[in-house]
Amino acid sequence: MKPRIAIPTPNSDAAYSTRTLPKYMGAVERAGGEPVEVSILATPGEIAQLGKTCDAVLLPGSHADVDPQRFGAERDPRTAAPDPRREDADELLIQDAHNMRKPILGICFGMQSLNVWRTGTLVQHIESPVRHARSSGVPTTESITHPVVVESHSLLARILGQQHGSPKITVNSSHHQSVQIAGDGLRVCARCPDDGIIEAIENVSPAQFIIGVQWHPERTYDEDEQSKAIFRALIEAARQWHERMMNGGKPDFESIGH
């Protein structure tokens, strides 16, 4: 049986979600999981019930920004409008995953949403000479990337096969916000070396698989082994979680990535 991965609809904008959701679902499928779309138009009860049938949560990107009120900040004029339905769905899925110690992978907005739920804060607009997002007028055919250094001995480093030293990887650039202060129980595990922008976070405790990345591994799944490794780690963690629930034991998350 394939692990079931809950994925909330990326955004209330149907056209945006129709364009982006298949990438996440395809990556989950190719990594060995069963993607389960959780409609953000459903009732809270329906979202909670569907979430309970899943073994892990994948929080995708969105072209909305998290409402700054959720982390006690005044809204920057460059902050995009929030998407309350998406934020509410994320909260329900994260709460279930927190209660049951289900694996969570947050991507871009999903990482930010997770961090805010854990009482962390966000940089509302990145000011940097590094291109973290596609500038206006730059064609989508042009690849925009930037470097990221992953902390050695982190879970993310093990997943990427980069346990020794401080490995530098290249990731796609597609975000104008980032984590400012990591939330409770989370630690920074990757930064952009040129400006210090936080690029990935993970759970402090090995008892629950939680990783958030600012880049979009679903977009590069087919041609990038590190992108594949992130999704495979999520599916393996979900499989271990399911086995724990069936057998009454606890999976050893320390082994993931070895």
Q: Which residue is it, tokens 């389960």?
A: 36
DSSP state of 220: T
**Furthest C-alpha separation in the chain:** 54
pLDDT of residue 132: 85
Closest C-alpha among 185, 232, 229 to residue 207: 185
pLDDT of residue 255: 45
pLDDT of residue 126: 93
Within 13 Å of residue 87, how many CA atoms lie on the same side as its CB? Answer: 18
Residue type, 131: R
At 106, is the secondary structure helix, strand, or coil? strand
What CA–CA distance (Å, rounded) separates 161 from 156?
8
pTM score: 0.93
At 203, is the secondary structure helix, strand, or coil? strand
pLDDT of residue 136: 66
pLDDT of residue 163: 58
Provide the β-strand partners of residue 170.
Answer: 147
Q: Give me the average pLDDT of each 10-residue run along the chain (258 residues).
A: 97 97 98 98 98 98 97 97 98 97 98 98 94 72 88 94 75 94 98 96 96 97 95 98 85 46
